[in-house]
Each structure stands twice: as structure tokens, then as C-alpha cells.
Amino acid sequence: MIGIISAMQEEIQALLNELKNVETSEKGMRTYYTGTLFNTNVVLVFSRWGKVASAATTTQLINDFNVDEIIFTGVAGAIHTNLNIGDVVIGKNLYQHDLNASPFYKKFEIPILKKEFLETKNATKLIEATTNFINTYNTYINNEEAIAFDITAPKIVFGDIASGDKFIKSLKKIKKLNKALPTAICVEMEGAAVAQICYEYEIPFSIIRIISDKANDNATIDFSRFANSIASYYALGILKNYFNN
């Protein structure tokens, strides 16, 4: 069984709409949806925002649903000039940008684990699935919605992601992140926490992030609308290709 997590239900609503043989269970104020998605046994859940919420959800998912793999999908803010709204980042290495246990450990190093970042798995297959999605983009994404968010020629980037319990919305903060973590290309609030839990439980983890904003002073888009009409359908198209390969 494959576990699929997002921070907001809007980000996986299109997947929920396609889920067959649905059963639900309530645990820790979360609803876990089990069923089949493109002939694959899955369990879907939205974790809520932040590292604590996503880590708790991931732990419950692993312990109660016997998942073989976890995929996180959702939006992120770009902190690299090469990224535009609508681009897809397939995560490579996940950093916790707000983790600093110095002088006992190096900045960003996870205590005990002694790792500054956590690597994802199955990236090649996910990149191939995303490429196939981009090639059939108009099948999934409404053209008027794409125009509304100024999405013209979305691309795929395989790169590092920074996670932390802060909503980054200023150029000043972006510059600090660029200096501290020069390889990170986007920022969000859950991925590295999920990656850490998966690492500790030895569960393969991968992550899809759709760029919703530039994480700057103009990071004020309608997140709910973007998540529901854009990000949710990205997840649908990418995972349909991922499961059918």
C-alpha cells in the first residue's frame, strides 16, 4: 500500500475524487482514506501545516496502515530565480532550515541521526511520471485557471527542499536561506519532517512540490484556489502516470 500525504485537503481533492472502494478511519483528528487509485492500493490523508503535524500523521500512517512507500504532494514557494509558478520540484535532499542544535551539533544536523539532510527515493520513476504529465498538461489543467495564475510553460526540476515552521514571504528571508542553504530551490513546512520519520522507519519517501509563489513580498495568492484547481490536478496527473508505469 502507498501512503499519500498533503498539508491541505485541497491539494489532494482530485485524488480523493478518483479514489475507489473508499473506507475512512478517524485517528488523531485526521481522516485516513483507504481505497484503490488507478488500480493501486493507497491511503490518503492531509496532515495540516507544519513539521509537528506532518510528523505525527506520518507516524500514524506507518504504524496503522502498513505502507510500503510514502509520497508527499503539495505546494511550495520558490527561492531560486529559475523557478516559476506552476513548475514542479521533485525533491532530492530535504533540510530543516529552522533546526539549529549548536554547539552540540552542526547547524541543520539532526541530533542523534547526525544527518544534515535526508535523501528521497524513487526519484527517477517520479521524474518520468512528471515528464509524462507535463507532456499532457492540458488534459488535466483548465486553461483559464492556468492563465489566472500566469502558468505558461511548466517545467520539472530535481532539487533540494528546505522545510521549517515559518511561512517565508520576504526577499530578506529568501536571501538568508540562499546563503545558509545554497542548494535549496524551494521552501515549505512539512517535507523534511516526513522524510525524517520515513528514514527512521525505513520507508521509501518521495516528494512532489508545485511552485505556487516566489516566497517573496508578493506571496499572497489564493492558496486554496491554487491548491484545488492547480496543485490537486498536478498530483492527479503525476500519480496516474507513476502508478501506471
The gap from C-alpha 59 to its chain's centroid, in whole angstroms, comes to 17
Q: Is the dihedral of CA 50, 53, 55, 57 positive or negative?
A: negative
Helix axes 191-201, 51-65, angle to 10 degrees: 30
Q: Is the dihedral of CA 29, 35, 39, 42 positive or negative?
A: positive
Beta strands 88-96 and 156-163 are parallel
Catalytic residue, candidates 10, 160, 190, 213: 213
Q: Is 11 a catalytic residue?
A: yes
**In whole angstroms, what is the distance from residue 42 CA to residue 197 CA?**
19
Burial class (CB in 10 A: 0-12, 13-18, 19+), 70: buried
What angle (nearest 5°) sits at the alpha carbon of residue 40, between those of residues 36 and 41? 60
Residue matched to cell numbers 475507489:
20
**In whole angstroms, what is the distance from residue 118 CA to residue 95 CA?**
7
Q: Is 213 a catalytic residue?
A: yes
Catalytic residue, candidates 10, 11, 109, 190: 11
Catalytic annotation, residues:
11, 213
